[in-house]
Amino acid sequence: MTISILLKTTISILASLILAPILLGIINRVKAGFAGRVGQPLLQPYYDIFKLLKKGLFYSTTTSWIFRWGTLVSLAVIVCALLIVPCGPFPALISFKGDIFLLVYLMGVVRFITVISALDTGSSFEGMGSSREMFFSALAEPALLLALMGLAKVTDSFSLTSIANTLSATNWFNNGASLALLMGTLFIVLLSENARIPIDDPNTHLELTMIHEVMVLDHSGPDFAVINYISALKLWIFSAIIAPVLFPIHTNNIIADFSVWLSGMVLISIAVGIVESSMARLRLTVIPQFLLGATALAITAIVLTWIG
Amino acid sequence: MIWALILLPFGLGVCALLTKNQSLQKYLLFGGALSHLILTISVWQKPPPAVLWGWLAIDPPGLLFLTITCLLFLLVSIYEFGYFEHLENDTEENMDVLIFPSIHTKSLFIGCQLFFLSAMTLVTLSQHLSLMWVAIEATTLASAPLIFFHSSPRSLEATWKYLLICSVGIALALLGTFFLSIAATKPDGSQTNLVFGNLLSNADHFNSQWLKAAFILMVVGYGTKMGLAPMHTWLPDAHSESPSPISALLSGALLNCAFLGIFRVYEICHKANLGAFANDIMLALGIVSLVVAAIFILGQSDYKRLLAYSSVEHMGLLALGLGFGGIGVFGSMLHALNHSITKASLFLLAGIILINYHSKKASDVQGILTRSKALGLLWLFGFLSISGSPPFGLFLSEITIVKSGFDQGRFIIASLSLGLLVIIFIGMATVFLNMTQPQPVLKSEKIHTPPPLRLKPSMLYPPVLLLLLSLVLGIYLPGWMKDLLVNIARQ
Amino acid sequence: MKVQLLLILVLLTNLKLLGSSRLGSSIRTVAIQGSLLGLLPLFIELDSLNWRVMTLAIGTVFLKGFVFANLLFRAINVANVNREVQPFAGYVSSLLYGIVALIVSFWLGQILNLGQLSYSPLIIPVSFFGIFSGLFLIVSRRRAISQVLGFLVLENGVFTFGAGIIKMTSLLVEIGILLDVFVAILVMGITVFRISQECDHIDTDKLITLKD
């Protein structure tokens, strides 16, 4: 590996690690703007994480070592996932043919660890949240896989880095409809995996309506800080998959490319904020339809690439 | 001339919708039917030239069905004089079966009938396949309001089934028409005009794959309208729930128009060397129709439904005639003529029975012969005619069709059809004979002499005329009719 | 290019209809589909516009986009129908059927290759998908109005096929077909209204008195 590539990959990892919570801040600011408020400062998620890191740690007596290790292990796994995801023009540290599937499975591992940590507390409340979470993820996973396969078909490459590098304006010209549909599917999966409206409300604390929030109720202090950081990283990863599709611009200037890519990420966060402010949460029984619709969109996109 | 044939009933229909004078409406209907008949007779004398770039013209099959249609229409319009008198006078007794229609519905009824006549004329006259499709769909739409004339839940259900199933079938037929036009594309990419004569002359160059698919779709589509099983499911409901004169028109004229559509595609297939394929499909549908009719006629308790299933049976025979080929085509056309006449007379008689007995169940109708010799005899003769007994006309046409089956070597199918006809005869005989003959009475029981039936002449004469015609056709086929039928079969 | 976009939008409306649960939005979706299809001949012959194509396109958009929706909305308002649709096949099954039908339609599109005869390779898949969706909607939905919508979708599918084939029919026939569909919807709407008056419901599942 040459020094420049090593430098680029380091920048990519550092950028992801440092910049991830900003997306959460942007979403909150957009929601506040829609509600007519000024809202939290953009860097509020950082302040929250630091504040939580200083607090004390409490463990429930019903939990076991799973609960204690869960957060750190999922942090480690998600940083591994981060190693595959490119940051715009900066390539990912690890990229090989088929790493899109590895990404999906790493996300699955994170979800699994969160769920067993929640179940470990022995509370029926968390159990309910876990079952809902697993159900909706089971429906969202085919959509994610199909969408990634659609991207792979359009660009003829099976690695996230090479997909990001291969996508260009000509792809939009040739397969515009497919790419639009794939973006739609990926956006819906983003909303689902990150517990955003219309699938889950991140602000609610009512028993009837929680899905994701309920699983992390028992974490305290530094654990909770890590949980928040992980959710920020998850949002970053999913946005990073969509951003190259949105702005597939490759100039030779690395700074320009990176800023375009960053603006894409910001745009996606703004879109999430708009969706959160304008829709209400769907009824629980309607969510499977919604996710199946996303799968149908992905299949339509793939099928459309056969023709023309 | 051709325009007059189509537009005259349409115009009169619009007038009927606008007037509120009830007797004027009845005379409008009669006048329209009569003038239509006169126009048709003049067409026989001197065939008019084609209009609209050859899209509308008279050709032998069209002329045959046009004649059948307008004859039936005239007789039904005479029948309706008496029918409406009954409806107006007997409201209290008829409440459970016939619901008295408002004046507004009556003008809709007459108007729609005239539109119906106009649409059927358009079907018989159109030479362009797409125009024929438009006309057949128009007949469906014009006849739907006629079925729910007596707005009961049952008739509404029948109308809904009729509308939906026939419209879906006809939409498939449209797809088939598009497929046909693809099949008819010349190798240099230009389209063949969908005018029938044009298609026939160019038929050998057609793409067989697309033509086969087109034939299947069009047979399924128009077969739904015609009442071939397994697409016949709307037929028993619609034909039994509609008022009797409308049932007569539907069974006698509308099914023939759909048959015309199938016949046209059948001819194209034969000219395009797909004759064997077309024959096989027609045979399959014909036999299935006969089987379904036989199953449902046995043990049928509603006499109008029985007549409707009998229509399915005869449509199956028409399909069989086409499927056998050769002289079978002549047999089918003759059968279409005979069946229309006989079935119409039977439905008109059923209407008289319904008005007098107030029930559609055959078990409620007993001993017609004792209460009215005329009606009983007519009902009996009608049964003999429809089941194919000599000397009525249907016997000749059925014999021709079955004989052509044996001629062509299709022994199994022909014998099977004979067997099914026997089963149907048995089924119908039980019902009809039970209705006509009086119940046996024990000597000790008091003999109630039921009152004799009131029969209006205007309601009685049309069925009498039709049955006489059926008898005549069984004995002697006029030369000009025979020439027409041979002409059709020869193509 | 625009033709492709139009056809893909039509396909998406069909998907939405299969997964939709509310009568009001279904009627609007069918109206949108009809308008898109009305614009199809316009986009196909964009370079050789003439009066005939323009009038036909405007007429179709007006009829299918506004008049039908109006008629159907009036029918459900007058019939005082509960707007939710309860089908025989649940929405998840409908969507799964839609996905399978989509794949089958595209496969059929590959097999029945029309080549030069069609304006776009998407014509056959989209039209067949429309036909399959329409048939499924008629069969699986209970409310009579939903069955009318299914019939409209079926007709739209057949129309897509016809419009997409080069120089299909003449003006007269297209007008005839359009008028037929219009009168069909009119008659169906009237029938639904009468059914609701007589039977106090438009649940075709309850119309079972006529049988052998």
Q: What rounded mean pLDDT belongs to chain C? A: 81
d(CA A117, CA A214): 12
Closest to C120 measured CA to CA, from C53, C165, C54, C157:
C165
Q: Are the Cβ atoms of B130 and C135 closer than 8 angstroms?
A: no
Residue A295 and residue A138 in contact, taking contact as beta carbons nearer than 8 Å: no
Of the listed ranges A54-63, B53-62, B117-126, C123-132, the least confidently predicted one is B53-62
Q: What is the pLDDT of residue C85?
A: 62
Confidence of residue A187 (pLDDT cuts 50, 70, 90): very high
Of the candidates B338, A122, B197, B302, the residue with the CA atom closest to the CA atom of residue C212: B302
Residues 6+ apart with CB under 8 A from C115: none
* Position A231 pLDDT exceeds 80: yes
- Residue count of chain A, please give it: 308
pLDDT digits (tens, 9 = 90+) for B29-85: 888 888 888 888 888 888 777 777 778 888 888 888 999 999 999 999 888 888 887
Helices (H) and strands (E) in chain A — how many of each? 10, 0
Is residue B46 within 8 A of residue B63, CB to CB? The reply is no
pLDDT value of residue A63: 87
DSSP C170: -
Tell me what pLDDT residue A208 has.
Answer: 67
State the pLDDT at residue C132.
94
Mean pLDDT over the full length of chain B:
84
Nearest residue to B283 via CA among B198, B409, B160, B377: B409
Torsional sign, CA B470, B474, B480, B482? positive
Q: Distance from C208 to chain A by nearest Cα, in Å?
A: 31
Greater pLDDT, B310 or B454: B310
Q: Find residues 10-49 of chain C whose CB sits inside 8 Å of chain A.
A: 11-12, 15, 19, 21
Is B457:B82 a contact under the CB 8 Å cutoff?
A: yes
Q: What's the ipTM? A: 0.90
Query: Is B52 or A233 the better-scoring residue by pLDDT?
Result: A233
Per-residue pLDDT reduced to its tens digit, B3-21: 878 888 888 888 887 777 7
pLDDT classification of B279: cutoffs 50, 70, 90: very high
* Distance (Å, whole) CA B297 – CA B365: 18
What's the pLDDT at A188? 94
User: What is the percent of chain A where pLDDT is above 90?
Assistant: 44
Chains B and C touch (3+ CB pairs under 8 A): yes
- How many angstroms away from the CA of B151 is the closest CA of chain C? 8
Q: Which chains does B contact via 3+ CB–CB distances below 8 A?
A: C
pLDDT at B95 over 60: no
Query: What is the span of the domain harbouring residue C127?
Result: 2-209
Count of B–C CB contacts within 8 Å? Answer: 112
Determine contact: A288 vs chain C, CB below 8 A.
yes
Among C158, C172, C208, beta carbon nearest to B171: C158
Distance, CA of A214 to CA of A207 (rounded, Å): 8
pLDDT > 90? residue A46: yes
The letter for the amino acid at B152 is S
Q: Give the number of domains in chain C.
A: 1
**What is the reported pTM?**
0.87
Q: What is the pLDDT of residues A240-282, one digit of tens each?
A: 999 998 888 888 888 888 899 999 999 999 999 999 999 888 8
Question: What does DSSP assign to residue A213?
Answer: G
What is the per-residue pLDDT for B92? 46
**Rounded average pLDDT over B226-240:** 90
* pLDDT confidence band for C167 (50 / 70 / 90): low
pLDDT band at B190 (very low <50, low <70, confident <90, very high): low
Query: According to the model, what pLDDT value does residue B98 have?
Result: 47
Identify whether the C-beta of residue A147 lies closer than 8 Å to the C-beta of residue A108: no
* pLDDT at site C47: 65
The number of beta carbons lying within 10 Å of the beta carbon of residue A100 is: 21
pLDDT at residue C170 greater than cutoff 70: no
Lowest-pLDDT range of B153-157, B193-197, B229-233, B292-296: B193-197
pLDDT number for residue B35: 86
Residue of B nearest to C198 (CA): B153
For chains B and A, having 3+ Cβ pairs within 8 Å is answered no
Mean model confidence pLDDT for chain A: 88
Sorted by where each begins, the domain ranges of chain B are 2-490
Please report residues of B whose CB lies closer than 8 A to that of C180. Answer: 134, 137-138, 141
The band of C89, judged by pLDDT with boundaries at 50, 70 and 90, is confident
What is the domain partition of chain A in residue ranges? 24-307
pLDDT digits (tens, 9 = 90+) for B341-398: 999 999 999 988 888 888 888 888 888 887 888 888 888 899 999 988 888 888 989 9
Write down the residue that tokens 């929250």 correspond to.
A48
